C-alpha cells in the first residue's frame, strides 16, 4: 500500500469541515419537513439524533455523520469516523443496533487504502456491538467516510439536549482541543506522544459515559462536536430556556493544545462557531484568547456534555472518572436572566 498522507489530500480535517452553522440554518430555513404521528423528535432544538416511535415502549434513534480524514493512517481514520458517528446514539442514551457505511472516494487512491478505512470502521463498530449491514459509495475528488447509525431506547429514558435545570452541574467527559491538534497534524507539526493522546480520545467510544449517565438523574445531554463546546452549550441553553456558566479554568484540555495555538494552528471552524453563537455568549475579562480558541474549537468525536442533578453530580463524576479519565465538572446551570439563554465563560 502506498504511503499516502490522507490529511494532505483534503482541504479541511474532520468536523472542522462542516458547513458553517449559520449557512446551514439559512439553507434549511422555511422547509416544512414531512412528519407523522410516530416522529417524536426530528429537526427541532438541534438534537443529536432523530427519534421515531417504534411501539408504546421503544423508539428508534437515528443519526448519520461522515467527514474528511483527521489522521494519515487509514485504519485509525476509519475507527475515528465510526466512533464519531456512533456518538450521537450514545448522547441520546440509546444502544446502537446497526450501521451503514458512507463513502466518498477517489479511485486514484487505490483499493487498499479504502480497505483499511473500512476495516477500521468495522473494528470500532464491533467494539460497539453494532453490525454494519452495508452502505453506499460514490466517486469523489475528496475522501470522506462515516456511517448512518440506528439505535434503540426506551422512549421514556431518552436523553435530549433540552431539559437542563437551574442548579444542575455540568460535566464534560472528554478533553478539548481536537480541532486545533488536527490542524497541527495537517501541517505536520505534532509530537508522537500528543498524537497518541489525540487518537485515543477521538477513537474512544462514548459508550461507557453513556451507560454511566443512565444510572443518574441527567436532565440533558449532548455530544460536543463540530459546533464546539460553546456552540453545543448554547443549543442546550436555548432549548432548555436556561443560562450556562462555564468555568474556563476547569476545562479538560489535550496535551500541547496551548503550544499549537501559539503556533497558529486554529481552524476556520473557530470563526464560524463564534458567528453561530453571537449574542448568546459572554466572555469574562480574565479569559485568555487561547482559552477562547479552545472553547470555540470544533471537536471531532468529542465527549458528552451532561447536565446532572446537583445531588447526583459528585457520584456520577466519580464513576465517570473511573472509565473516562478526563471527565470534569466544568460549570453549572443558571436561571435564564434575560431570556437570551446565555453561555457565560468565566
Structure confidence by residue, pLDDT tens digits, 281-310 = 999 999 999 999 999 999 999 999 999 999
**Is residue 15 among the annotated active site residues?**
yes
Locate CATH 3.90.650.10 in the chain: 169-345
* C-alpha cell recorded at residue 341: 439563554
How large is the average pLDDT for residues 257-275? 93
Q: Tell me which CATH code domain 169-345 carries.
A: 3.90.650.10
Please say if the pLDDT value at position 14 is more than 70. Answer: no
Dist CA 92 CA 47 (whole Å): 9
Q: What backbone torsions phi and psi does residue 193 show, to the nearest 5 degrees?
A: -65, -40
| List 15, 130, 295, 324, catalytic entry | 15
**Residue 18, pLDDT above cutoff 80:** no
Confidence band for 248, pLDDT divided at 50, 70 and 90: very high
pLDDT over 90, % of the chain: 81
For 53-110, write each residue's pLDDT tens digit: 999 999 999 999 999 999 999 999 999 999 999 999 999 999 999 999 999 999 999 9
Checking if the pLDDT of 115 tops 90, the result is: yes
What is the pLDDT at residue 291?
A: 97
The pLDDT-based confidence of 8 (bands split at 50, 70, 90) is confident
Is residue 340's pLDDT more than 90? no
Strand partners, 344: 245, 282
The whole-model pTM stands at: 0.94
The pLDDT of residue 233: 97
Asked if the 6-157 domain carries CATH number 3.40.50.300, the reply is no
Higher pLDDT, 297 or 337: 297
Q: Say yes or no to pLDDT of 346 above 70.
A: yes
Percent of the chain with pLDDT over 70: 96
Task: CATH 3.30.1330.10 in the chain: give the residue spans.
Answer: 6-157
22 pLDDT band (50/70/90 cuts)? confident
Q: Mind listing the pLDDT tens digit for each residue in 135-172? A: 999 999 999 999 999 999 999 999 999 999 999 999 99
pLDDT at 276: 93
Q: Is the pLDDT of residue 128 over 80?
A: yes
Give the closest residue to 67 by CA, choosing from 50, 51, 87. 87
Q: Is the dihedral of CA 137, 88, 182, 344 positive or negative?
A: positive
| For residue 1, pLDDT beyond 60 | no
Q: What is the pLDDT of residue 43?
A: 60
Length of the chain: 346
**Reported confidence tier of residue 122, pLDDT bands at 50, 70, 90:** very high
pLDDT computed for residue 24 by the predictor? 83
Average pLDDT over residues 332-344: 91
Average pLDDT over residues 229-254: 97
Nearest C-alpha neighbor of 210 from the set 58, 50, 91, 63 = 91
Assess contact for 222 and 304: CB atoms under 8 A: yes
Contacts of 341 (CB under 8 A, 6+ apart): 234, 237, 238, 240, 241, 242, 243, 280
Residue ranges with strand state E in the chain:
39-41, 50-53, 58-67, 95-105, 132-139, 144-154, 169-172, 218-223, 242-246, 281-283, 304-308, 328-335, 343-345
Output the average pLDDT for the chain.
93
The helix-helix angle for 192-203 and 178-186 (nearest 10°) equals 130
Query: Cα separation of 120 and 123, whole Å?
Result: 5
Q: Which three cell numbers stand for residue 192?
A: 508522537
Which residue's entry shows cell 446551514? 24
Amino acid at each position: 500500500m502506498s504511503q499516502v498522507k490522507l490529511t494532505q489530500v483534503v482541504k479541511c480535517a474532520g468536523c472542522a469541515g462542516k458547513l458553517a452553522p449559520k449557512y446551514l440554518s439559512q439553507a434549511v430555513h422555511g422547509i416544512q419537513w414531512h412528519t407523522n404521528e410516530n416522529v417524536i423528535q426530528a429537526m427541532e432544538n438541534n438534537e443529536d439524533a432523530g427519534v421515531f416511535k417504534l411501539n408504546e415502549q421503544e423508539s428508534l434513534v437515528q443519526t448519520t455523520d461522515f467527514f474528511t480524514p483527521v489522521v494519515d493512517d487509514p485504519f485509525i481514520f476509519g475507527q475515528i469516523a465510526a466512533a464519531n458517528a456512533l456518538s450521537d446514539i450514545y448522547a441520546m442514551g440509546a444502544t446502537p443496533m446497526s450501521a451503514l457505511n458512507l463513502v466518498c472516494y477517489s479511485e486514484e487512491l487505490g483499493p487498499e487504502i479504502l480497505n483499511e478505512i473500512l476495516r477500521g470502521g468495522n473494528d470500532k463498530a464491533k467494539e460497539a456491538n453494532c453490525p454494519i449491514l452495508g452502505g453506499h459509495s460514490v466517486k469523489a475528488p475528496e475522501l470522506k467516510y462515516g456511517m448512518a447509525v440506528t439505535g434503540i431506547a426506551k422512549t421514556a429514558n431518552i436523553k435530549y439536549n433540552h431539559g437542563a435545570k437551574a442548579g444542575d452541574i455540568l460535566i464534560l467527559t472528554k478533553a478539548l482541543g481536537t480541532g486545533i491538534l488536527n490542524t497541527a497534524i495537517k501541517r505536520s507539526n505534532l509530537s508522537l506522544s500528543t498524537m497518541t493522546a489525540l487518537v485515543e480520545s477521538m477513537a474512544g467510544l462514548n459508550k461507557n459515559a453513556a451507560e454511566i449517565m443512565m444510572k443518574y438523574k441527567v436532565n440533558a445531554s449532548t455530544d460536543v462536536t463540530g459546533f464546539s463546546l460553546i456552540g453545543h452549550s448554547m443549543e442546550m441553553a436555548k432549548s432548555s430556556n436556561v443560562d450556562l456558566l462555564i468555568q474556563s479554568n476547569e476545562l479538560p484540555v489535550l496535551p500541547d493544545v496551548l503550544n499549537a495555538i501559539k503556533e497558529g494552528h486554529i481552524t476556520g471552524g473557530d470563526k464560524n462557531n463564534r458567528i453561530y453563537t453571537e449574542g448568546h455568549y459572554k466572555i469574562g475579562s480574565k479569559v485568555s484568547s487561547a482559552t477562547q480558541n479552545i472553547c470555540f474549537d470544533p471537536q471531532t468525536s468529542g465527549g458528552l456534555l451532561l447536565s446532572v442533578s446537583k445531588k447526583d453530580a459528585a457520584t456520577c463524576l466519580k464513576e465517570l472518572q473511573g472509565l473516562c479519565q478526563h471527565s470534569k465538572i466544568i460549570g453549572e446551570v443558571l436561571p435564564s436572566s434575560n431570556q437570551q439563554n446565555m453561555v457565560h465563560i468565566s
